[in-house]
């Protein structure tokens, strides 16, 4: 699958800034046998497996991210125990793993839902025909108030990059998908003051991969094309104040 009119060309300095081999990274490796992805620390699959990503494809696509506390036990789990294709509960029999986040891809609507560390929110499209989204970050905040992050994209024949910038338009993360890969399908890089913060990394991991699968669905689904026609881009501005209040109450409970 190659992105078409749905992608937008982000500012050229973003791609240049994110090409730093020393930045913290996660590598996404897909297993066809288990129909799940294992996410490794570092920029190769030789790193420590930190998370699993399970897929539920009944109805709308659901992504389930789980932390792995016993990496050595991953290879002992049989393929029939690890697939979430037909199970909507999101249960995974991989030992010692807990759910840290979820993503839900809508077939018609161009927004996407995600949950990370128990907080639910949305990736909200800002434009109909190109990749420009926002999500509200708790991990980037220093005072407890949610911070609006912006997502742009850039692509070529081989890769599709999703670049996250902060309120000052400085890049803080980049999720790169290899459009032709069968196994090592992507890498997530982190930069900026929160680059080594694990909570920030997990939030970006959930948001970026949810956005990536949302855009893959949009490019390949005629229903998503119809949804783009009737969408209301940027509607997060209408409910952001009320939702922020609700999240503040939720965090205080």
Number of folded domains that form the chain? 1
3-state helix, strand, coil in the chain (%, to 5): 25, 35, 40
Q: What is the pLDDT of residues 174-193, one digit of tens each?
A: 999 998 998 999 999 999 99
Query: How confident is the prediction for the chain on average, in pLDDT?
Result: 79
| DSSP alpha helix (H) spans, 190-235 | 198-220, 222-230
171 belongs to a structural domain = yes
What are the structure tokens assigned to 6, written together?
């749905």
- The mean pLDDT of 99-125, rounded to a whole number, is 92
Give phi and psi for 185, each to the nearest 5.
-90, -15
pLDDT digits (tens, 9 = 90+) for 10-43: 554 444 444 555 789 999 999 888 889 999 999 9
Does residue 233 lie within any of the structural domains?
yes
Longest dimension (CA), the chain: 49
Q: Which domain, by its residues, includes 139?
A: 12-252
- In the structure encoding, which two tokens stand for residue 183, read together? 């196994």
> Where does residue 59 fall: left (phi above 0), alpha (psi -120 to 50 degrees), or beta otherwise?
left
Percentage of the chain beyond pLDDT 70 is 68
Residue 138 falls inside a structural domain = yes
Residue 219 belongs to a domain: yes
Whether 46 maps to a domain, the answer reads yes
């Amino acid at each position: 699958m190659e992105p078409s009119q749905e992608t937008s060309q982000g500012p050229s300095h973003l791609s240049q800034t994110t090409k730093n081999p020393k930045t913290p990274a996660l590598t996404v490796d897909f297993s066809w046998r288990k129909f799940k992805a294992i996410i490794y620390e570092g920029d190769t699959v030789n790193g420590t497996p930190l998370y699993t990503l399970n897929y539920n494809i009944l109805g709308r696509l659901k992504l389930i991210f789980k932390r792995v506390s016993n990496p050595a036990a991953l290879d002992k789990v049989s393929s029939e125990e690890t697939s979430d294709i037909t199970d909507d509960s999101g249960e995974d029999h991989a030992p010692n793993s807990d759910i840290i986040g979820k993503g839900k891809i809508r077939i018609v609507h161009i927004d996407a839902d995600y949950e990370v560390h128990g907080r639910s929110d949305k990736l909200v499209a800002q434009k109909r025909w190109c990749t420009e989204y926002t999500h509200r970050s708790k991990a980037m905040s220093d005072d407890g108030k949610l911070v609006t992050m912006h997502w742009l994209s850039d692509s070529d024949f081989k890769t599709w990059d999703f670049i996250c910038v902060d309120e000052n338009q400085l890049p803080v993360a980049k999720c790169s998908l290899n459009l032709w890969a069968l196994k090592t399908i992507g890498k997530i890089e982190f930069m900026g003051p929160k680059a080594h913060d694990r909570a920030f990394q997990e939030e970006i991991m959930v948001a970026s991969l949810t956005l990536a699968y949302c855009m893959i669905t949009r490019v390949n689904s005629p229903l998503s094309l119809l949804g783009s026609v009737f969408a209301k881009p940027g509607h997060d501005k209408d409910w952001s104040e009320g939702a922020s209040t609700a999240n503040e109450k939720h965090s205080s409970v």
